[in-house]
Structure 1
Amino acid sequence: MIFLDAAATTPVRREVLEAMWPYLTGEFGNPSSHHGLGEAAATALAAARATTAKAMGCRTGEVVFTSGGTEADNLAVKGIALARRAADRHLDRVAISAVEHPAVEESARYLARVHGFAVDVIPVDQYGQVSEEALAEVLGPRTALVSIMYANNEVGTVQPVARLAALARALGIPFHTDAVQAAGWLPLDAGTLGVDALSISGHKLGAPKGSGALFVRGRTRIEPLVHGGGQERGRRSGTENVAGAVALATALTLARDPAERVAALRDEFIEAVLTGVPGAELTGHPTERLPSVASFCFPGTSGESVLLELERQGVICSSGSACAAGSDAPSAVLLAMGIEPEVAQTAVRFSFDSTVTADELRQAAAAVRTAVGGVRSLRTPS
């Protein structure tokens, strides 16, 4: 099997398993307990927080451990917007890009549906990028929050987050970025990016599913979504997942992926597909994209049929976001980029981890040529 669906999830790294194992077995204490077992768990949690904060370029008190990227996005979007409006009732708009992950988009729609917010959707260009001009168009005195993802999970396009965040900061508007796909490939330093909140997820980095974190700048008001014992400085109650926090921190220390090497392999793979498959169209920005993502549309096919044929040949990939599994509707991301619905339904995404090899990608490119050709022949009337 050649696994090219790392944007959906990655295998848990052995080093991560070994680091978290003690907190799944003998060191099982509750970090809020005031005895030796609990204090050992609290020490491990504090160490994990410090490691995570270093990776995110922030203070330890600015890290909130969550159950993953989706919860981190929900907490950022809902929590910051609601806290801002509680302080000023006129702050009743949120701005998101047209290509956000559903965790951000649906959080914004919830604010509109339940709390009466207006949602301003920022358009993107044909590559899926937000321009400074497009963002400036929607910002105003009623904007409570801006949320624009760092790197897109479907097409790999990287946003100019630092420049966009600077626009919001000049107007005193908090800026959140979903960095789930960027983690491990792009710098996460919150100070350099200039963001007020940043979400990551462990299972994209070699940690288990169910681990994640949110950076929240110290003075940023945030309304908790989960109430109870006041853990995580009152921002996310519930007994902390110590093993998950240790796993995430360990994965972050190991996530020094050879981006240049993988980017070079990605470019070779893109060239092989574009030259080997007539009519194949690369989606996303041609250069400002994640090293780990190559995505295409294959007009005249069905994306799902191509996937099935590739799996039969031992190549595992995706038709887009794994979070939209079971939907046969064309990708909202591709539609926002101006791609026609019938073409968007032919999309296939290939995403790599740091272990991918040139030989695997050569085999995969050959399989793509065969799969697309076979699907097209079946769909063409004799």
Structure 2
Amino acid sequence: MTRPAIYLDHNAASPLLPEARSALVAALDLMGNPSSVHGHGRALRNLIDTARGQVATLAGAERKQVVFTGSATEAITQAIVGGAKAFASTAIVVSAGEHAAVTKAAEATGLPVITIGLLPDGSIDLDQLADVIFGAEGNLLVALHWVNNETGVVQPIGRISAIVGPTRHTLFIDAVQAFGKLPLDFATSAPDMMAISGHKIGAPAGIGALLVKAHADVVRLIPGGGQEQGRRGGTEATALIAGFGAAASAIGARYATADVPRLINRLEADLKSAIPGVAIFGATRLGNVTNFAVPGVKNATAMMALDLMGLSVSSGSACSSGKVGPSHVLAAMGVAPELADCALRISMGWNSTVDDVNAFVAGYQSILERQRARQGQAA
């Protein structure tokens, strides 16, 4: 089976950057344990320290605020499950557009979960959030996303921070889709914790990080031998961490060279020009993703046809056991189920090109033409 020639699913995982591959392979040639005090161990420790600085720089964080984890999901779970315990939270606040990693972690705390709705443009209902925050009697742990993984809608983190930040409540931000694409400035921002991921920016899969402020340094999930300054047990995956650091250093220039927002704008303009009635979901979106639908063209059918053409796309999150189902995000935005069933997500990244845009638009048009031809024959 040949690999699809054109990859348009960077929100699921971005292809490995050459810089990350080189750092990964070089680290794999080293032996030892980074906790050992001998020369082999110190060499590995130096790689981790370098990578910590590289990731901190991209996140606008201090080195000591970066806690390496096995994935963003682990970081999210540490923040929510560990945070709820550390801060004696009485309830978890999420939005209706959260990734499953957030909602499942919230449920795992065993605490009441309060869900804030989305507005039709995909943004979190801040009036409802304020009502919940200022009406709460206990200590809330507020867990919200910065950029929606399905629609690319950018949430107003400044306004969210202004609501939650000055209160006694804890604010955790899922910054997985924002990291590497927006300035995070974690060290000077209001959130107490943030989760970031490696493979969303071209690092190897299997590495993420939780960013923590000093007062949140007590948040734990995995006890162990004192690794990561006692904040996450388990021998560090040095090679993966080295790849993460290299990707963090390289992604800014790579992303800018690809000029991803221009490609997404071109894609949307071509779709609107070629296909009357196309619906594009969400406002104030990140410039690397579009989520659209054409009435009557089911996403499951379209994805299979596109895959046969060598075009890899998705209908939303890749973290649902490979299933194509209704989008809870679009449902929360009030999109009609029959239209949501036609939604496709196209996400681009550091190696995307205008040829990818042209190939997708041509491929999708051919699917639409074949479907209309069959409908005409049936009539």
Structure 1-normalised TM-score?
0.92
Does the 8 A contact of 2:116 with 2:125 survive in 1? no
Cα distance, 1:363 vs. partner? 2.4
Counterpart-to-counterpart distance in 1, 2:210 and 2:98? 17
1:88 maps to which residue?
Answer: none
> d(CA) in 2 for partners of 1:375 and 1:225?
51
1:288-367 to 2 correspondences below 5 Å: 288-367=284-363
1-side partners of 2:304 and 2:93: how far apart? Answer: 37
Q: In 2 relative to 1, CA 373–73 (structure 1 residues): closer, same or farther, beyond 3 Å?
A: farther
Q: Which of the numbers 173, 198, 216 marks the counterpart of 1:177? A: 173
Tell me which of 216, 222, 230 is aligned to 1:220: 216
Q: 1:365 to 1:266 in 2, by over 3 A?
A: same
Partner of 1:170: helix, strand, or coil?
coil
1:244 partnered with 2:245:
no
Rounded to whole Å, the distance in 1 between the matches of 2:85 and 2:375 is: 51
Give the % identical residues.
36
Give the letter aligned to residue 37 of structure 2: H
1:9 aligns with 2:7: no
Other-structure match for 2:63: 60
Aligned pairs, number: 370
- 1:21 and 2:25 are equivalent in the alignment: yes
Tell me how far apart the structure 2 counterparts of residues 245 and 188 of structure 1 sit (CA, whole Å).
Answer: 20
1:119 equivalent in alignment to 2:123:
no
Distance across 2 between alignment mates of 1:177 and 1:363 = 36
Q: In structure 1, what is the equivalent of residue 281 of structure 2?
A: 283
CA deviation map 1:131-174 (0-9, x unaligned): 43221022123243111111111111011112202211111222
Structure 1 residue 379, shift from structure 2 partner: 6.0
Report the residue type matching 1:104 in the other structure.
Answer: V
Q: Which runs of 5+ in 1 are unaligned?
A: 86-90
The Cα offsets for residues 208-232 of structure 1, whole Å up to 9 and x where unpaired, read as 1101111011111544221121211
Q: SS at the partner of 1:355?
A: coil
User: Residues of 1 paired with 2:51 and 2:120: CA distance?
Assistant: 40
Residue 74 (1) aligns with residue 72 (2):
no
Residues 45 and 246 of structure 1 are in contact (CA less than 8 Å); yes or no, is this contact kept in structure 2? yes
Decide which of 94, 97, 107 is 2:95's aligned counterpart. 97
Per the alignment, residue 107 of structure 1 pairs with 105
Distance 1:168 1:94 in 2: 13
The TM-score normalised by the length of structure 2 is 0.93
Per-residue deviation, 1:259: 8.4
Deviations 1:233-279 (A, max 9, x none): 22210001111111111101111122893212211211211232232
SS in 1 for 2:214: coil
Task: Determine the C-alpha separation between the residues in 2 that align with 1:290 and 1:378.
Answer: 36
Give 5+ residue unaligned stretches, structure 2. none
Q: Does 1:30 align with 2:20?
A: no
Indicate if the aligned counterparts of 1:6 and 1:353 stay in contact, CA closer than 8 A: yes
Cα offset for 1:104? 0.4
